[in-house]
Structure 1
């Protein structure tokens, strides 16, 4: 073993002695020699053979591999040992170095620009420049002519799609979309003709200069103008999709074109300088142009803040407080986004990672990031506008239908926001060439775990909103289809809702709690947390509740069986052990009864021994009328029959009847007169209104027929009443006293 270690030490010593030679010959341009493979489990014989076979080039290659491995190991150790403060310090140092370098390069900025254009001129010469400019102008003219021809041939798209009036949103959208398609088609034709003609008459070197100029300084601003006209429709308020006035629409349109031109100029001039032998790092022009883009965006956002707020509010009348806050803070949000994006880019440039610098130069992901972050609130406004116009119409009428309609609208908006948020994240990740699927699939990495957890929570949120959306629409349909209780009659007994209207609120709460618990546990598991103790703790807690809250369990179980038996529904009038009222609300363990005088009674299900429902299917009302003894019952029967026939034809009351009002004949006699009873069968909730109308009609019919209602009276029989004029005052007083005594006895 000692011999083996000595052989290995000799080999490493030989490699170290060759290091100065390697350093001196590293740039000689000699051929690269592959390093020999060294087995991990060396034996003494293998070491001897390896030393004997190695040539100088192989020793050099082996040493390079060894030095690279040691450097990589040390870099990993340093990275692992770096703390948060050290990393922040490194980032700050890189950022400061970048700014310092940019300021230091200011004196040479214009000189380098002059050098770049001088190199450009010397590359082509005077005649070459005239040829390049002339042919480029000719190609542009040919491309523009082809574009105008394409636009002319598609002119019918524009006229056929013109909206009929200002309120025709679908027509306005169709008009703007077809106009955008015409403009984009024209630009495509323009670009294709340029490429075809340019390849025929320009050399490869001339194309390398002309193509970026045309693309960045002509095509890109025109494409931005087409998109801006689609969104803002300057000077055309009747077809404008966003809520903004003409002044700010024109201002934003002009400056959006200017912003696209500035971005295009930045990308073109940097490439132009690189083609002419002036690297961007020498003059730092990119720093100042990038800064000017972000400052320009900040100026636009601050100047047009009132117009941007109006645009963010939209035209939806059902805006929430959150929508108002987002609209008000959007200009400040734009300022923060552009400032942070600028800071991020300059920090990355200062850190000097070659791959990052190449990505920034080729794809400009910071511009894409800033675009989608600034568009996110605007996309939210677009979602609210689409939901407002595309949402199905309200089911039914009344406050219940209105609440359900607004709740459904908010659900659609929240689902759209989650989908839009995921889309924006994917677009930003794609711009920075980050594959979120690979990151999420890493499993052991903290970033991947967080992404997995967020994806799970997003899916759970969408599922919760979809379930709520379906239940709310069904609930609105069931509740608005039910008969409403007559508030004016005010004695309870209204018709209840359907069985679904009673069960769906409980189902909604149960589903929301279940989804929240399940997806929260899944998200915690994705973060690497062991959820087994949580499940065990939930089981123990449930067991403790089962033993310690038997009354609660009894209430819940009782409520389940009451719902299974369909004993009551929301809106029905019930009697629970002498407590009467309309079922106003049900929960997992209790029900609330609203008495017709306003009192609310909360009754646990476990305490219900008997429940009487007065609102199920049909109601029979029996009305009593007392008439004098000499009244003809047949005459009263005909009056009742006539009233019943008239009301069954009355459009106001006919839908409430199941059987018409009719007489049941003489029901009883009392000291006052005959009691005649009538009855009718009605739908629950309509009986009191019908009863009130019957009372009014019977009274009017009795007056017309000369029938009086019997009233309590006392008659005193006095013998010799024909001689009443000759009675003395004492006799009259005695008669009055007897009548009073009789009245008291009857009372």
Structure 2
């Protein structure tokens, strides 16, 4: 509604031609309105009106001068003043409505303005209405094909939905523009204007009320898309979307009907009290319809609240292109958090309480001053229910910019989605407070803003930016918590490959986060008014003192730096420091590393104590296995059998990928003192796979050797008698020990 129309509305619904008590000065004055008031009011009425204005300004000044500690007293004073004023006005209105029959002269005077009589006035008014509707229908029919094409699609993505919704909204606004233009133009025709007579002042009330109500219905239809779910941008089911749109359509029609019906009373000379009471009743009916809808859908609102909260918490909304019913996702009772359960249970009550409060707020101001205060009550609901739409819009923008499916891209999407929610929450909060007449941004950073408000605003912005950068660093330098195998026999294929970046990432991240924390703290202290220059200077002196007093710590830090530069070990690698200290590198700090022993214990070793590191996880391993065989074993037979065993292992789906070179025989290594052949086999494999493969190879070779008649040599002792002949065990028991000669049967090499 334009400023001119606002002034006219306030004049119509806040003035009365019949008594001084009904006069009051509108807030939005224009030169034309001032001239109109002066022409219509008598000297006595002007004096009384001037007196009421002075009293009102005096009361406001007293309220403003109330001590800050008595805010409740100021509120109580304002409410008592409002109640007294409403009581006075309503009692007068009821009296005027009871005496409507006394306004016959005013009614006849208004009807006399119609040049063509009552029939001509009704005929011209009907022509005005029919022409406006006809033009809107023509415009609507001309755009029917486009609207049908935009609303009918089998499958489309989110951005196509948005574009189709915006285009369809523009096409649906065109009939409204045609209706308003036709109504205004035809009303300016001299013949129609003369025939309308008193209804001339009703024209703008008519097209403004119908136009704005129609526009609100179009916005609701496009937001909820009850007739075109395939292009719906709101995350609602069909039933919820249709029910919400129908409810809004009903309440808007009731409000528009009350507005239009109320406009006839002052226009036809029946006075303003009936108009004011009519608008109050229409607003009350609207609030009643909303409360009844909340009561009927009490459980459904609770269910939707649970779905929204839980799915937002888990970020489980499926915004795929083929997803139309996002809130169909099921959440079991066991998965509902206590917070979601409390909020969902209270959601209908909170919403109903707000509707009741908004109605009382609007009704009190309407009855007190005859002016609409809908920005706060209605605007808050619009902003609140628009948040999910803007939340999804931001998520889709982030998804379009970061369309990579990598884990890092997913982490950054979560960070930016969270940041976007914070932004729209802050913007929504500022908009709501501004709608209620509280400009917090100007209060915090405007001219004459309190120091504490400005400082608090700066600290809040600094902390928000710091948290955003903190999360971005965490997303860029993220490292999943490794589950340590911590065993020599662990399968190397089950161990994720550790890179040098994985090892250095925690150090980089912790260093950057430390610097960020220091910068944020310094910025906050500077905002509070603390001079940080001495702190920076003293930090350097303290650093030097700490360096001299903590030489061991410095040694550990620098030793760790050089170990990491040399790439001596990485996260997840199995290393050995000495015969007793070994394990998998589980984490690395700035001064030490932690090893997870294969028995489960965690060993923390400062870098300064590291002397020698044996790394079992680099590139490849050659493992050799010796076997003791009988002296008469054929080495060529053994070599052939080992070769066949090696081929079988290469074909094995589980163990074959672990080999880099096949199992093969190295021939005779030596002959020991027990007359046994020492033959050795070897294989080349991936790091840490040797511990698994050696077990499997031993079991396999043992079975194959048994099948091929190859026997393992046992340790034995030969007893030689005095004459140099071998003695069996029974004879050896009867021969004196000093006559026995023990020797090893070691053949010439």
Report the TM-score when normalising by structure 2.
0.68
Residue 309 (str. 1) matches residue 305 (str. 2)? yes
Residue 137 (str. 1) matches residue 143 (str. 2)? no
Aligned counterpart for 1:466 among listed residues 469, 472, 475: 472
Partner in structure 1 of residue 250 of structure 2: 258
Partner in structure 2 of residue 94 of structure 1: 78
Matches within 5 A, 1:654-673: 654-672=656-674, 673=676
Q: Report the secondary structure of 2:628's partner residue.
A: strand
Q: What CA distance in whole angstroms lies between the structure 2 residues aligned with 1:698 and 1:280?
A: 108
Partner in structure 1 of residue 516 of structure 2: 515
Specify whether residues 513 and 177 from structure 1 end up closer, same or farther in structure 2 by C-alpha distance, changes over 3 A only.
same
Partner in structure 1 of residue 176 of structure 2: 191
| 8 Å contact kept, 1:314–1:385 | no
Aligned counterpart for 1:411 among listed residues 389, 412, 415: 415
Q: Report the secondary structure of 2:624's partner residue.
A: strand
| 8 Å contact kept, 1:368–1:428 | yes
Specify whether residues 142 and 351 from structure 1 end up closer, same or farther in structure 2 by C-alpha distance, changes over 3 A only.
closer
Instruction: Give the drift of 1:220.
Output: 1.9
Partner in structure 1 of residue 339 of structure 2: 325
| 8 Å contact kept, 2:500–2:570 | yes
Partner in structure 2 of residue 209 of structure 1: 205
Gaps of 5+ in 2: 1-56, 194-199, 317-334, 744-749
Q: What CA distance in whole angstroms lies between the structure 1 residues aligned with 2:621 and 2:732?
A: 54
Specify whether residues 342 and 529 from structure 1 end up closer, same or farther in structure 2 by C-alpha distance, changes over 3 A only.
farther
Q: What CA distance in whole angstroms lies between the structure 2 residues aligned with 1:513 and 1:327?
A: 38
Specify whether residues 634 and 529 from structure 1 end up closer, same or farther in structure 2 by C-alpha distance, changes over 3 A only.
same
Partner in structure 1 of residue 701 of structure 2: 698
Partner in structure 2 of residue 50 of structure 1: none
Q: What CA distance in whole angstroms lies between the structure 2 residues aligned with 1:734 and 1:262?
A: 126
The farther-off stretch of 455-464 and 256-265 is: 256-265
| 8 Å contact kept, 1:139–1:194 | yes
Instruction: Give the drift of 1:704.
Output: 3.8
Instruction: Give the drift of 1:604.
Output: 2.3
Q: What CA distance in whole angstroms lies between the structure 1 residues aligned with 2:617 and 2:165?
A: 61
Partner in structure 2 of residue 167 of structure 1: none
Deviation string, structure 1 residues 656-686 (Cα, Å, up to 9, x no partner): 3333333333223334522222223333243
Residue 680 (str. 1) matches residue 683 (str. 2)? yes
| 8 Å contact kept, 2:291–2:355 | no
Aligned counterpart for 2:222 among listed residues 203, 226, 231: 226
Q: Report the secondary structure of 1:200's partner residue.
A: helix
Q: Report the secondary structure of 1:663's partner residue.
A: strand
Deviation string, structure 1 residues 517-557 (Cα, Å, up to 9, x no partner): 32343244335455456656756765665465554444334
| 8 Å contact kept, 1:486–1:689 | no
Deviation string, structure 1 residues 690-741 (Cα, Å, up to 9, x no partner): 4344334433432343222333345667999x9x9xx9x9969759x99xx9
Q: What CA distance in whole angstroms lies between the structure 1 residues aligned with 2:441 and 2:586?
A: 49
| 8 Å contact kept, 2:616–2:688 | no
| 8 Å contact kept, 2:224–2:233 | no
| 8 Å contact kept, 1:495–1:615 | no
Instruction: Give the drift of 1:368.
Output: 2.0
Partner in structure 1 of residue 590 of structure 2: 588
Partner in structure 2 of residue 364 of structure 1: 375
Instruction: Give the drift of 1:589.
Output: 2.7
Partner in structure 2 of residue 155 of structure 1: 148
Specify whether residues 644 and 491 from structure 1 end up closer, same or farther in structure 2 by C-alpha distance, changes over 3 A only.
closer
Deviation string, structure 1 residues 27-79 (Cα, Å, up to 9, x no partner): xxxxxxxxxxxxxxxxxxxxxxxxxxxxxxxxxxxxxxxxxxxxx9xx99996
Specify whether residues 391 and 314 from structure 1 end up closer, same or farther in structure 2 by C-alpha distance, changes over 3 A only.
farther
User: How many aligned positions are there?
Assistant: 636
Matches within 5 A, 1:503-652: 503-532=504-533, 535=536, 542=543, 545-546=546-547, 549-577=550-578, 578-648=580-650, 652=654
Partner in structure 2 of residue 58 of structure 1: none
Aligned counterpart for 1:454 among listed residues 456, 460, 479: 460
Partner in structure 2 of residue 10 of structure 1: none
Q: What CA distance in whole angstroms lies between the structure 1 residues aligned with 2:573 and 2:526?
A: 46
Partner in structure 2 of residue 34 of structure 1: none
Partner in structure 1 of residue 53 of structure 2: none
Q: What CA distance in whole angstroms lies between the structure 1 residues aligned with 2:649 and 2:535?
A: 66
Q: Report the secondary structure of 2:682's partner residue.
A: strand
Instruction: Give the drift of 1:580.
Output: 0.3
Deviation string, structure 1 residues 304-350 (Cα, Å, up to 9, x no partner): 42242244146579469897734751563575477569869978998
Specify whether residues 292 and 706 from structure 1 end up closer, same or farther in structure 2 by C-alpha distance, changes over 3 A only.
farther
Specify whether residues 699 and 523 from structure 1 end up closer, same or farther in structure 2 by C-alpha distance, changes over 3 A only.
same
Gaps of 5+ in 1: 1-71, 164-170, 396-400
Specify whether residues 247 and 343 from structure 1 end up closer, same or farther in structure 2 by C-alpha distance, changes over 3 A only.
closer
The farther-off stretch of 216-225 and 268-277 is: 268-277
Q: Report the secondary structure of 1:95's partner residue.
A: helix
| 8 Å contact kept, 1:242–1:314 | no
Specify whether residues 139 and 333 from structure 1 end up closer, same or farther in structure 2 by C-alpha distance, changes over 3 A only.
same
Q: What CA distance in whole angstroms lies between the structure 2 residues aligned with 1:554 and 1:594?
A: 24
Deviation string, structure 1 residues 421-462 (Cα, Å, up to 9, x no partner): 244245446655949479536586343333333233222222
Specify whether residues 349 and 658 from structure 1 end up closer, same or farther in structure 2 by C-alpha distance, changes over 3 A only.
same
Instruction: Give the drift of 1:588.
Output: 2.5
Instruction: Give the drift of 1:189.
Output: 1.7
Once superposed, what is the RMSD of the aligned Cα atoms? 5.3
Q: What CA distance in whole angstroms lies between the structure 2 residues aligned with 1:331 and 1:386?
A: 33
Deviation string, structure 1 residues 124-145 (Cα, Å, up to 9, x no partner): 6734244223421331133034
Q: What CA distance in whole angstroms lies between the structure 2 residues aligned with 1:730 and 1:289?
A: 124
Q: What CA distance in whole angstroms lies between the structure 2 residues aligned with 1:137 and 1:177?
A: 34
Instruction: Give the drift of 1:190.
Output: 0.7
| 8 Å contact kept, 1:485–1:685 | no
Instruction: Give the drift of 1:89.
Output: 1.9
Deviation string, structure 1 residues 175-210 (Cα, Å, up to 9, x no partner): 854663464134212112213322332238454122
Matches within 5 A, 1:170-189: 171=156, 173=158, 177=162, 180-181=165-166, 183-189=168-174
Q: Report the secondary structure of 2:143's partner residue.
A: helix
Matches within 5 A, 1:1-12: none
Specify whether residues 488 and 458 from structure 1 end up closer, same or farther in structure 2 by C-alpha distance, changes over 3 A only.
same
Specify whether residues 451 and 393 from structure 1 end up closer, same or farther in structure 2 by C-alpha distance, changes over 3 A only.
same
| 8 Å contact kept, 1:216–1:261 | no
